[in-house]
Amino acid sequence: MIRHSLSGSTGWSRRDLLRLGGLTAFGVAAGPALAACAGEESGGGGKANLQFMYWGSSFEQKAIQKMLDEFNSRQKDASVKPLYTPQEYDTRLNTLVASKRVPDVAYLGAGTAYRLAEQGKLVNFYPYLKKHPELASRLPYTYYWYGKDKLLGTQTANEVILLWYNKKTFQEAGVDHPPAEASKAWSWDTLVETAERLTFDQDGRRPSESGFNTKQIRQFGLAANFNSYGWYPLVRSNGGDFVDETGTKFLLNSPEAVEVFQNLQDLMYEHRVSPTPAQTGNNAPTTTVQLQTKRIAMAIDGQWVLLDMAESNLDYGIGVLPSYQEPTTIGFAAATAAFTGDHDDKTVELYMFHNDPRYVDLYKSGLWMPLEKKYYEDQAAIDSWTKNAAHPPEFRTAVVDYTLNNSVPMFDQRLKNTDAIGEVLTPAIQQIQTGKHKAKEVLDALKPKIEPLLQGWYPSQEL
């Protein structure tokens, strides 16, 4: 439940936002002043003045600017201006909403999106599905429904979770690469064994050797990911879930889920192959940099990392996640939605334009994956965004096929009251992460705290 470029409902961890944003730690200092919210009133009649509000790295900023310029050059009676907000997105958006100066099209976290939709502030896209068939043929879990025939939009793009690694570390240790096909996915034990062979302390000793110094470790085998998008695919792979199908019963203390969390904790405190939160630090470098500097050999992280990887000179590889019972990853991302106003037709045009792979090069550069099914099924369509230098050969099986056949929806994208749930969930997961309590203990204690907050799922419907 953390906002990176696309996902995330609440932005609890600004660190991850920064990480992806590729900003230096000092970027924290430059919170955008609220005073800078120069809202432009859209003039009635004549030309429609639109605003597009978004977050992301400076790279994403440029790509979006290019897309908006393209839109402007094609439109005679509408023009759009960017409202780039890399930090404190919710703060600024809330201020704009409160002062009735909302943008026209905006990235929104799930919780905010549903709230604004229920308050009647967002365009319902259901009536537009006929006019825009490409909006009707997207992957089913990418839609944000807030009632029967009520659609606030879809994800901005798609993302899945993968196993990234530095090929050089594998070569040095003489270990096989992680598999790039779902059918050959490692078991958890294989992952741990491999990670053990890739972990070294300052004197080159491995965790299984005597005299291993747990305090000063040069290279960790694997960076475990305790974000919800890090553990949820593993829980689903083991047949567990966060809540039941009614969305009112907490299931994270089931044996299947407990096993996953205990395994994750054991990576750090039992097998010593993963950095603890203290060893990672609160201002850790990006996954790409940590792999590049051989601080870690493997990392569980999102597809969006590819942008950084492709820009770096790191010899990286992509594998599928380890599998318990079924090879599983998750597909998810934050929503893009449109605010209602005087010129909804133009707003919808901009909406349809903003993430069209024909106009935005973020697909080719690796940050985003398309939403429409054909980009995962049709060879020519697949080639249109993956046949380039940024996408390595294993991308087809490890990402395209993996997404189409093995991705499940992320729970916090459809669950009601997800922001409040996250505020209880996050501290509890931190307790597992810091190794103070066993997973079962924490998750059992969590059940009575989460269940009063559960209000069921938002609907989903067939198209």
Partner 1 sequence: MAAKKSRLSGQGRLESRWGIILAMPAILGFLIFTIGPMIASFFFSLTDWTIGGRPSFIGLDNYRTMVKDELFWKSLSVTAYYTVGAVPLGLIIGFALALLLNQRVRGLSLWRTIYYLPTLVPAVASAVLWIWIFNPDFGLLNSLLRQAGLPTSQWLYSEEAVVPSLIIMSTWGFGNAMVIFLAGLQGVPRHLYEAVSIDGGGAWQRFRHVTLPMMTPTIFYNLVTGVIGTFQVFNQAYVMTQGGPNNASLFYIYYLYRTAFTESAMGYASALAWVLFMVIMLVTFLLFQNARRWVYYEMAGAR
Query: Does residue number 313 form part of the binding site for partner 1 (CB under 8 A)?
Result: no
User: Which of 33, 38, 98, 389 is close enough to bind partner 1 by CB under 8 A?
Assistant: 98
Query: Does residue number 225 form part of the binding site for partner 1 (CB under 8 A)?
Result: no
Q: Decide the pairing of beta strands 105-108 and 200-201.
A: unpaired
Query: Does residue number 11 form part of the binding site for partner 1 (CB under 8 A)?
Result: yes
What's the min distance (Å) between Cβ of 57 and partner 1? 19
Nearer to partner 1, 69 or 444 (CB): 444
Question: Looking only at residues 178 through 217 of this chain, which bind partner 1 when binding is defined by CB under 8 A?
Answer: 215-217
Query: Does residue number 306 form part of the binding site for partner 1 (CB under 8 A)?
Result: no
Contact window for partner 1 (CB under 8 A) among 75-83, 113-121, 246-254, 353-361: 113-121
Q: Fill in the per-residue mask, 18 to 57: x = in contact with partner 1 (CB under 8 A), - = not in contact.
A: -------xx-xx----------------------------
What's the min distance (Å) between Cβ of 285 and partner 1? 13
Query: Does residue number 119 form part of the binding site for partner 1 (CB under 8 A)?
Result: yes
Nearer to partner 1, 115 or 132 (CB): 115
Contact window for partner 1 (CB under 8 A) among 84-92, 141-149, 319-327, 397-405: 84-92
Round to whole Å and give the CA distance between 304 and 17.
Answer: 12
What's the min distance (Å) between Cβ of 20 and partner 1? 16
Question: Looking only at residues 401 through 440 of this chain, which bind partner 1 when binding is defined by CB under 8 A?
Answer: 419-420, 423, 426-428, 430-431, 433-434, 436
What's the min distance (Å) between Cβ of 332 and partner 1? 19
- By the criterion CB under 8 A, which residues form the site for partner 1? 10-15, 25-26, 28-29, 88, 90-91, 94, 97-98, 112, 115-116, 119, 121, 215-217, 276-279, 281-283, 419-420, 423, 426-428, 430-431, 433-434, 436
